[in-house]
Structure 1
Amino acid sequence: MALFWARGYHATSLKDLESALDMRPGSIYAAFGSKADLFRAALDLYAATGRTAFKDTMAQANSPIAGLAAHVRMLAGMCQKAVPSRACMLVKSLLETPDDEPELRQSVEAMMRQTEMAFADAFRSAIETGEIAPDANPDRLAARLQAGIFGLRAYAQRTDSASRIEAIAEDMAREIEGLRV
């Protein structure tokens, strides 16, 4: 996962994979089927890790809006850590995967939809508990949040972003909190 996250699907060679996995090409193909299948497994792990972190953050929060805001703040901290890339692996993959590789692109988009649906569910819960206005559109709020997070994670790739990323995330979190009625 770290290798694909850092380099991307196309820039990761079979030799790179052999070295990272300490496996021969035949063993890689026997275990995973293809480079694309191994990449999908890495994406699955990345997405599952993100879903777990989101669920944990939401479970610890005292309300849906507090959980969503905490999630954004947590992502800012992650952008500061030593990870293979400060950009989201899903966003990088979406931008790298052309339309002529529809299976990989569909996998990436399906994972992004899962995340967006989890955000929408949190906004629905906030509506149901009266935390935000009943006429709020949870799907639109979720799409906006996901776009904002993707922008934050892409912005974090800049070499001069470290001093600003937490402030930007804080602004995003406060916008979420500002939805409260």
Structure 2
Amino acid sequence: DAIVAAANAVNALAAEPATAREQGPHQNAPACTIVGSVVTPELLIVGWVGDSRVYWVPVDRSTPPARLTEDDSWAAQMVAAGLMNEAEAYADERAHAITGWLGADAYELEPHTASFKPDRPGVVVVCTDGLWNYAEAADEMAEAVPLDAASRPLHSAQVLVGHALDGGGHDNVTVAVLPFPAPPMGAGSA
């Protein structure tokens, strides 16, 4: 429901008169990707459209980290259809072309959702491609996440933004780090 509400809000921007957006008729309607996560004491739920991602990183690093989302991209479609292997698809210049997004010019909206029951404490990294382009594989993302991320999520998000900027910062970088399980209501961290 939240993703559909966000899509409706983005679509409404396209309906505004062009002068309100300082945009001419030759320009594209506003569009974006979306990703989010809800963390509860026992469950984490993710939802997305596009190529923004969610990663799971266990605190103790004794089990492997994981990417919890699949991109809506040309490369992912080629691999899923069995037309190319992953290396071939991601080597193609069309690899990162997104095939799902929010906006008036988007194809039929098909939000993705998934839920997970981690068996240990960890952190959920919610991010745009401005970060994951510099730590694409789950183990690369885990390596970039500070070891104290569960107790210092804001600091960890700042470290991850720095990681992307140090890597070249070729895109907008948005990241949130969420401890799992969720801290008790009212609990703060330094």
Report TM bin, short chain.
under 0.3
Structure with greater proportional strand content: 2
Structure with greater proportional helix content: 1
Normalised to the residue count of structure 1, the TM-score between the two structures is 0.26
